[in-house]
A = this chain, B = another copy of it.
Amino acid sequence: MRISQLSTASGVPIPTIKYYLREGLLPAGEQTSATRAEYGERHLRRLRLIRALLEVGHLSIAAIREVLAAVDDEGMSMHRVLGTAHYALAPRIEPGPDDEEWRRARQEADGLVAGLGWQVDARSPARDELAQAVLTLHRFGLPATVQALRPYAEAAERLVGEHEIRTLPRGGSREEAVEALVVGTVVHGRILDVMRRMAQESASARVFGTPATDR
């Protein structure tokens, strides 16, 4: 199909498609004449994935480029592709001065992960994120113990183990499986986050007794 048809089929405007081509997110079409290129199913799929990473994952163009490179690298294991997606999704943590407070929080975070028996790489940025959260809870005198955080760990474990693993397609191509893995990570993460904020809003309306229209 031509770029105009690719635009119609994907819902992505032509200038945006051209931008993705320039940025190397989308592979070039097959040049059929000096001014004409043909695009196929593969481009349509790729646009769908870019949109998901952009619109739901809110990843930067640079982060999307990294994730797509991992998806395309057939020598990369599924585990490493997921790690790349996680790395792209993790907000950058600036640990600040490498002081005693930070080191203690990081140790606590590592202790929490060990206590849960989870296999999380020692270099995973998630460990620093957890340390940052633990540090902040400490500063506010809020509990950051295994007991206090276990409900979150258990909820996460249950959703991943009982629900998300099932949505992975079996028996399809590597590309399909990798795409589903990446999309599932991004979209279900967003859904859990938004559901929690909605549940909070609803509980708050109930507890503080304010009618829903008072906003």
Contact = CB atoms under 8 A, between A and B. Distances in A.
Interface in A77-107: 77-80, 82-83, 86, 89-91, 93-94, 96-97, 101
Contacts of A51: 136, 139
Contact of A198 (B101, B118, B192): B118
B197 A90 contact: yes
Nearest to A188: B152
A149 B191 contact: yes
Contact of A130 (B80, B162, B194): B194
Contact of A80 (B97, B183, B190, B215): B215
A184 to B, nearest CB: 7
Interface stretch (A33-41, A61-69, A163-171): A163-171
A206 interface: yes
Interface residues of A, number: 90
Contact of A185 (B48, B55, B80, B197): B197
User: In this complex, which of A151, A167, A214 has the most chain B Cβ atoms within 10 angstroms of its Cβ?
Assistant: A151
30 contacts: A11-B97, A11-B101, A52-B140, A55-B132, A56-B136, A77-B210, A79-B214, A80-B215, A82-B200, A113-B198, A118-B199, A119-B205, A119-B206, A121-B212, A121-B215, A124-B215, A130-B191, A132-B190, A137-B187, A142-B183, A151-B158, A151-B162, A151-B163, A152-B195, A156-B196, A159-B196, A160-B200, A161-B203, A165-B207, A192-B193
